[in-house]
Structure 1
Amino acid sequence: MSLTSSDASTSSNPVSRVFKVLFDTENGWRDMRSEHLEITPVLLGHTIPFALIAPLCGFYGTTVVGWSIGTGPHVKMTTGTALPITLLFFIATITAVLCVAKAIQWMAQTYCDPKPFGHCLALASYTATPLFLVGLAQLYPLLWLNLVVGLPALAYTVRLFYVGVPIMMDIDRERGFLFATAALCFGLVTLVAMMVATVLLWGAGLAPEFTY
């Protein structure tokens, strides 16, 4: 069945895609699979603006709001050290999404027919939407708050991915489960690599400075 012009416009709207993937997951992925997904529109319409949420909120939270541990002093990060950390956080987030998308495209050769990179990028990017949105919690940089909202967001992200892979890759659920599991393992490796890079950068002189 062909889409009307209004339906096509709605399905290609990044905001509409987000809501549909989050709240009508299977149909959201099916609609996206039927679209011609280009790299630049996916990056500009979803990946980049959503990846900005956590760095910008984190910058505000650590430099303006601050935090304290127990009865300790109220701590804030200096603007001079927060700026490069914010920039690196943003770059690392974009890089991670691109790496996962490339891994999905590479793995597709094993599990299904080859897919265009824009297709794989959309799967990786829209799957990460809950993790992007949970970056709003960085406005109040409290460890317990980030854990309370972060763990459910992570669980929902995993669910979106396991539902999305077989639909977007156009394969059966069993093969999709294996595909998604392999891709998630790559995602964990990417996360560990980012943590190691953070430690190395801190050791190279990018460690944060604080005011009390």
Structure 2
Amino acid sequence: MIHHVWGLFTRPDQKWQEIRSEKETIGHMYLSHVLILAAIPAISAYIGTTQVGWSVGGGDPVMLTQASGIQLTVMAYLAMVAGVAVMGAFIQWMSRTYDSSPTMTQCIVFAAYTATPLFVGGVAALYPSIWIALLVGTVAICYSVYLLYIGIPAFMKIPAEEGFMFSSSVLAVGLVMLVSMIVLSVIFWGHGIGPVYTN
């Protein structure tokens, strides 16, 4: 797992070819990659929001209660883990339009590795600051989009022109999923499943 993660940051073109040629299983992918890396932003956010806190207008730090932090951490972790599988399913479904026939396993592997910068960038949540989150989040999103656009043609074995359209479709689905998760969060908060502050 680690050599693939490092390779995606140093030589992504070559690394996508290697990942495509490997015989991976969904179970192994989740155990060795998704479940571990998805824990980075979840645990970082828990520590940042319950131990460090954030200041509003230079006042005392605002923090979440331990119980609230655990509840939100578990929900965020499950959403990230499920999100990889959902994106993999969408990628396989859309691949038929582009005369590509990857397996569900290959699509989930592709989705997991494409999300790697987002998982790693989650370490910024250790210190809850809007500016740090904005900076690191923007870099992580940009690199994930870069991996998506260079990875689809190589991984799906389709021409670059079709790869651009395919990648744009995947990106659109990802944005819809993000908006859906935000809407679900608001609905949960409206029903009492939301943050509880220490003061």
TM range (shorter): over 0.9
Task: State the aligned residue count.
Answer: 199
Does structure 1 residue 72 correspond to structure 2 residue 59?
A: yes
**Which of 44, 47, 55 is equivalent to 2:42?**
55
Match of 2:103 in 1: 116
- The 2-side partners of 1:119 and 1:142 are apart by 36
Q: Are 1:34 and 2:21 an aligned pair?
A: yes
Aligned partner of 1:130 in structure 2 is: 117
How far 1:48 sits from its partner (Å)?
1.1
Structure 1: which amino acid aligns with 2:85? Answer: L
Sequence identity percentage = 38
TM-score, scaled relative to structure 2: 0.97
Q: Residue type of the partner of 2:174? A: G
**TM-score when normalising by structure 1:** 0.91
Match runs of 1:149-188 below 5 Å? 149-188=136-175
Is 1:88 matched up with 2:75? yes
Deviations 1:2-36 (A, max 9, x none): xxxxxxxxxxxx11111111210000000111111
Which structure has the larger Rg? 1
1:201 is displaced (CA, Å) by 0.7
Distance 1:57 1:113 in 2: 38
Q: Take 2:158 and 2:61, find their aligned partners in 1: how far apart are those partners?
A: 53
CA distance in 1, matches of 2:46, 2:99: 42
- The gaps in structure 1 that reach 5 residues or longer are 1-13
The letter for the 2-side match of 1:178 is M
How large is the Cα RMSD of the aligned pairs?
Answer: 0.9
